Chain A
């Protein structure tokens, strides 16, 4: 066995900060420190990187993320409602290196699964023993005719990835006249954040009720019914915003026109002053680099749900919204994918059997007004051959209240800290 100085530093732990960045593509089986590369520093990826270091202190972890800051989708609807501003939901990555995570600001442009090397736009080749892809969603802007043009012209946004579009939509709402109409369209499931569209309707209604009370909201739903927390949202619309929310099921958007300001469904053209069209989605583009969008629609990634290893690419794990499963596509759930995945990778790299019965829990709060929230909560237990089975008595609150609003606020602070610090 020969060990070069670089590997010596890694073994002794003295080189954690100078961790493997290259040249150690196939180190498993040697005495060198194993290297895991995580792509994407959202709820899933950042959590996974942190827990890999926590549970596998002898593992080097590189986290690749193109953005400077983390912008939270949870509570981004609160920005639209005026309860929070962009700064409140924007956080830095500065505390992650303290866990011994090497942060690389770059895009991944190629993955060689055989050689176990990731290539970045910036020209780096980064070897790995195991790779974790946590890219979130890609929005299929082509599926709504005219959307791309309207988006490019700044007329219509989806705001389904928190960031500049969130701020843009808030500005559009602020500029809308009293008596105007806000039209939002919801894609057919599965999509990111099942209750998100309905919480958005509540938050926009909360703002309009105060600032422009003669205004209306038309919610065009591509689904046959409210997808998540139906009693909670129906109660809120009837109690807090009577007559303001016009909910129309089975109204998938076919086209949008940023000039005429209309959203077209198979039934009619719906005119609005602010249009918020959320197109269908699929797994993040980086998953396609390894052929991992392998469900029947070639949209989402199927994985071994006990380890989150892709069924398409060995040694590649996929977590978060990109995964096809019965688990909800939520930021909270992505942190739990991340922990199960990190635990499995630690065990696999040590030559041990991963936990055969992982358990994950989902907690998802939605605000229904400026001072009330409700939740849905479930524990899911993995069973071989069945996937994750929901434990009895999980479910949603039928009504929002002020206590849950304080928990909702506390939840956000805690999960951001859990992911980023």
Chain B
């Protein structure tokens, strides 16, 4: 493989990798990242705020639904849970479940 071919391939790999981030995926990553300002980078928290990394998807979804409905006591999370659609909550749950 000559150098020029290597370059072209390298370019394609770069495109392919970044191509994974479709607008929908980026939306999920973006909204999930806003959680990290409180819950810590990568969803790993220091101190009293719980970590989100590796939470089971169903638990995350149920928690957010219960916060939203007011059936689970919360200090701040009802105000946040109200701001997201069910689809967004599902997508964030899958994302945080995938983080180790």
Contacts and interface: CB of A to CB of B under 8 A. Distances in A.
A413 B29 CA distance: 22
Nearest to A379: B83
A257 interface: no
A360 B31 CA distance: 7
24 contacts: A51-B33, A57-B18, A336-B34, A339-B34, A346-B21, A347-B23, A350-B18, A355-B23, A361-B37, A361-B83, A363-B76, A378-B79, A379-B80, A379-B82, A381-B83, A392-B82, A393-B82, A406-B48, A407-B49, A407-B76, A409-B47, A413-B40, A414-B41, A417-B41
Interface of A: 3, 8, 11-13, 31, 51, 55-58, 332, 335-336, 339-340, 343, 346-347, 350, 352-361, 363, 375, 377-381, 391-395, 397, 403-404, 406-407, 409-411, 413-415, 417-418, 421
A44 B52 CA distance: 23
Interface of B: 3, 6-7, 10-11, 14-15, 17-19, 21-23, 26-27, 29-31, 33-41, 45-49, 75-76, 78-80, 82-84, 88
A-side interface mostly: mixed
Contacts of B27: 355, 357-359
B7 A355 contact: no
Given A391-B83, A404-B75, A58 B14 contact: yes
Contact of B83 (A8, A55, A359): A359
Nearest to B88: A359
A378 to B, nearest CB: 7
Given A3-B7, A12-B10, A395 B49 contact: no
Contacts of A403: 48, 75
Contact of A411 (B14, B15, B35, B49): B49
Contacts of A411: 38, 49
A48 B22 CA distance: 19
Given A336-B34, A343-B29, A346-B26, A417 B21 contact: no
A358 B29 CA distance: 11
A352 B80 CA distance: 29
Contacts of A13: 10
A334 to B, nearest CB: 10
Contacts of A363: 37-38, 76, 80
Given A358-B27, A363-B38, A379-B80, 10 more contacts: A12-B7, A13-B10, A346-B21, A347-B23, A355-B27, A359-B84, A414-B41, A414-B45, A418-B40, A421-B41
Nearest to A31: B11
Nearest to A12: B10
A11 B10 contact: yes
B79 to A, nearest CB: 4
B73 to A, nearest CB: 11
A355 B36 CA distance: 19
Which 7 residue pairs across A and B have the least CB separation, nearest first?
A379-B83, A410-B47, A391-B83, A406-B48, A414-B40, A410-B49, A377-B79
Given A31-B7, A354-B23, A375-B75, A413 B47 contact: yes
Contacts of B34: 335-336, 339, 359-361
B81 to A, nearest CB: 9
A218 to B, nearest CB: 32
A59 to B, nearest CB: 9
A13 B82 CA distance: 42
Best-surrounded residue of B34, B39, B82, B84 (most CB of chain A within 10 A): B34
B82 A8 contact: no
A98 to B, nearest CB: 12
A335 B37 contact: yes
A340 B23 contact: no
A397 B40 CA distance: 23
B76 A353 contact: no
A347 B20 CA distance: 11
